[in-house]
Structure 1
Amino acid sequence: MSAVQEIFDYLKASKLFYLATVEGDQPRVRPMGAIDVFEDRLYFQTGNIKNVFQQMKANPKVEICTMGPEGTWIRIQANAIQDDRLEAREHMMDANPGLKNRYAADDGICEVLYLENAKAVIASFTAEPKVIEF
């Protein structure tokens, strides 16, 4: 199993993760749920009319965090890189059909971003952390 697939499976099992960005000197955190693996990269989705997108354009450094099974949690540090190819947006929409209620791959609003230079740490109170770079 690839590192990207392992991280995807962890996030997908959690159903919801929290994405942190920075706006000026203030951290901003929000829940997210749409993720996808495309071309062996981990992608997430948002709209370009949202503050989160503008924050990532100004500073691509993000952190993702969620709780997993059996008392573990994951933190991922990465750069969020916009992919404005239609096929990347279509793949995301197909993988997350619930998005189709709010977005279309070609609506001019839907944006997909992938994680680059990512480092994930899966931790718990009972075991040594597992570090995965992808």
Structure 2
Amino acid sequence: MNELVRNEIWSFFKQAQPIYLATIDKDIPRVRPVTLIYYNDKFWIATGSEDSKMSQIRSNCNFEFCKTISDGEKTGYIRAAGDITIIQDIETKKMLLDNIDFISYFWKDPADAGYSLLQVNIREIEYMKIGEMIANKYENK
């Protein structure tokens, strides 16, 4: 993916936005809405440690998500696939807790056992521009 295309796609990501995240539970895909965080040019998800997606990610770290995009009349989408890293580092968890309101609304302490932070590592993107009918696939290196 060249820099121009990357910048166009990344321009749709705000600090926090809803996406539909798919994980694998044994051999069954499980999709749910989550808040994707874009901070310091990286993607993150904060979630409860006991949430079912956590056990699914521990068993199989591969994911796919879909984010719809719109200009108010026409739509498109961004699909991304890759792997998820569970972050154990307290300093990284604190950095996001201190800077992202969505996270600090739910957790107050980066060492809280109920707070899990996931780094979303995007390996490929499928991008359908707003108003178009054909999607293009790109590798994210």
Bin for the TM-score computed over the shorter chain:
0.7 to 0.9
**Unpaired stretches in structure 1, ≥5 consecutive residues:** none
1:64/1:117 CA distance change after superposition, 3 Å: closer
Q: CA RMSD in A?
A: 2.8
Structure 1 equivalent of residue 34 of structure 2:
32
Q: Which has the larger radius of gyration?
A: 2
Q: 2:104 aligns to what?
A: 100
| 1:14-33 map, 5 Å | 15-33=17-35
Q: Name the one with the larger helix percent.
A: 1
Q: What TM-score comes out, normalization by structure 2 length?
A: 0.77
Question: Residues 90 and 2 (structure 1 numbering): CA distance in 2 closer, same or farther, change over 3 Å?
Answer: farther
1:129 is the counterpart of 2:133 = no
Offset at residue 128 of structure 1 (A): 5.0
The CA distance in 2 between the partners of 1:90 and 1:26, in whole Å, is 34
- The TM-score with structure 1 as length reference comes to 0.80
- 4+ aligned runs moved over 3 Å, structure 1: 1-9, 124-128
- Residue of structure 2 equivalent to 1:113: 118
For residue 55 of structure 2, give the secondary structure of its aligned residue in structure 1.
helix
Structure 2 residue identity aligned to 1:121: E
- 1:111 maps to a residue whose letter is S
Q: What SS does structure 2 have at the residue aligned with 1:49?
A: coil
Distance 1:11 1:82, change over 3 A: same
Which residue of the other structure, out of 73, 80, 83, is the alignment partner of 1:76? 80
Report the Cα distance in structure 1 between the residues aligned to 2:15 and 2:138, rounded to whole angstroms: 19
| Residue 51 of structure 2: aligned partner | 50
Shift of 1:13: 7.8
Identity over aligned pairs, percent? 21
